[in-house]
A and B are shown apart, each in its own frame.
Chain A
C-alpha cells in the first residue's frame, strides 16, 4: 500500500503547525471569523447545523487496519462515538470542537492521513473503484493512477484556486463502480488494441445542473495522463466562469463550448505543452506501482469445500453470500461488502466499535486492507473463501452482516437537514423509512438490484440524479417535500433520472416507493430483469402512474 513519503509528511506537519497558530489567533480574537473561515476550510473544517464538522480524506477509498482503527479512536475520543462515510470516499465527523481539531489532525498525521483539499476550489480527493486490484473485470489497478493524480494535484501551484471545486474519479474495470461519468473528469482505463488507454470524460456532474460527461478522448496513452490533465485544467482555469458560482463548474464550460470545441482547445493546449516536464517518467510510475503490489495470495483451488458446505447448511449465510460476497480474480478468494445499511439504520454511519471490529477483521482476513465504497459501505477486498463463514459470524456480532448490498435498502443518503447547513429537507429519515418498509430481507432479495439515492437539496451530494430511484428533498413553504426521479444510473451507461410530477411529503414516500416496486414486479419479464432494465424497456409511464396512484390500490 502507498505510504506517504518524507516530503508529504513534512508538508502535512507544517500545515498542522500553521493551523495551530491560526486557531490560537482566532481564539484570541487576533483574526476575525471572516479571515479564519477560508483557513479552516482549507483544513477540512466546516461549521454545520449543530457543530463543527471535519472532513477527512481517504484517498481512493483505501485504508489500512491501523488507519481505520485510528479513525475509530478519533470518533471515540473527539466525537460522539461515530463517523459518517460519504459518497466521496471521505469520512465526516459531525461533533468536532474547534479546540480539538489540531490534536485530531496530529492523530491523523501519525497514520499518514489528513484533511487537506477536502474543501475549496482545488482538486479534491480522487475517488476510485472500491474493488480495485480484486475485480475480475479490471485491466489495471486504478489506484496506481489515482495515486499519481493525488501526488500531482496536492498543493498544485497552478490549480489551487480554480473557478470551483474539481473532482476526478478513476476506474479500470469494465463495470464502472466509481460513477466516473458524473465527475468533473472521469477516467476509464480500458484495453484498446491490446494496449491500455484512458477514455477521458470531462464535464460531468450533479448539483443543480446535472450532466453526464461527454468523452473527449478514448485513446489517451497512460504515460500521457498528467500532461493531458494539465491541459484540461489549464483550459478550465483560464476560461471557466468566475462571475457566477452556479456556472463555475467545468461542466458549464464544456456545455457552453460544446464537447468538440472544448476537446479542440484541450488538444491545442496539450500540443503546446512541455510534456516531458510534466509526465511521469516510467521509473517513477513503477515506484508508485510497487506500493500497490498485490498481497501474497496463496495458491488455492477456486472452490472451497468448507465454504460450500457452510453455504448449503446455513441459509442466512448463503443469503449474505449471494448479495455481499463478490467474485475475485484470484482463485479461492472473494471480496466482501460490509453493509453500513442495517434495516432502519443510518446509511454510512459506523460506530467506533464497528470501525475497530472491521479494522481487526481486515487485518485478520484481508491482508490488512479495507476500502470505503462511494455507496457508503466498507469493503474487505481480499478474503479467502474458506474464511468467509467465520468472517460473517464476526460481522454479525457487530451488526455488520446485513445481506443487502445492491438491494433496495442499500441506500445512499446525504446528511440532509439533520446535519447540513445547506439542506432543504432531511434525507436520513427518508432512507430509514424506506428501509423499514422493506425490512423483510427475503422480499428485498426477490426485488433484486435497485439503487435508491437521496439528497437533502439540489446540491446532490446523495447522487439522486443517478439513482434508479432518486429522491430530492425540497422546501415547500417551510415543509419538507420530496421529488422523485426515475431511471438514473451511475455506471458505465450513466444516465440522469427523469423528474416525475409533484413532490410528496415524507410520510408518503415509503408507500410511493412500494407502489413503484409493485409495478415493476408485475411488469418484469422474469427475476433476471432488474428494475433499471425494466424501466429502460418500458419507459417512465407505468412507473409514474404507479407512483401517483392511490395508496388504497396498492393494498388491494
Chain B
C-alpha cells in the first residue's frame, strides 16, 4: 500500500492526497492506495504543477503508518519538528 504526499505550491506546507480529489494537511486523511492506483495518482499529481510541488509515494502498512526507511522521516513530516511540539499537527 502507498500514500501520496507533496507540498502545497504556494505555502510549501505538507499535504496528502485524500483520494477524493482533495489535498489534505492531515496524514490521517491520506488515502491508502494499491500500487496501480498509487502510480496513477502520482501521475495526475505530477501534472498538477500549479497546485503542488514535489509529489512522491510513501510505502505504508496501515493508515498513517509509513514503513521502512521513510518511517521516522515521514512521521516528523506529518507532525512537524519534534523539537517544536507547539507546532504539532494532529
Contacts and interface: CB of A to CB of B under 8 A. Distances in A.
**Size category, A interface:** 20 to 34
B14 interface: yes
A98 B10 contact: yes
Given A33-B54, A478-B68, A419 B81 contact: yes
Contacts of B50: 27-29
A417 to B, nearest CB: 6
Contacts of A423: 73
A419 B87 CA distance: 13
Contacts of A479: 72
A97 B83 contact: no
B37 interface: no
A97 B11 contact: yes
B53 to A, nearest CB: 5
B9 interface: yes
Interface string B22-36: 000000000000000
**Size category, B interface:** 20 to 34
Contact of A417 (B11, B49, B72): B72
B13 A51 contact: yes
Nearest to A45: B12
B44 interface: no
A478 B69 CA distance: 4
B49 A99 contact: no
Interface string B1-28: 0000001011111100000000000000
B12 to A, nearest CB: 4
A49 B70 CA distance: 12
Interface string B53-66: 11000000000000
Interface string A414-425: 000111000101
A52 to B, nearest CB: 4
B81 A480 contact: no
Interface string B67-90: 111111100110011111001000
A97 B10 contact: yes
Interface of B: 7, 9-14, 49-50, 53-54, 67-73, 76-77, 80-84, 87
24 contacts: A26-B9, A27-B10, A33-B53, A47-B12, A47-B54, A50-B12, A50-B14, A50-B77, A50-B81, A52-B12, A80-B87, A96-B12, A97-B12, A98-B10, A98-B12, A99-B10, A417-B72, A418-B84, A423-B73, A429-B82, A429-B83, A432-B83, A478-B69, A478-B71
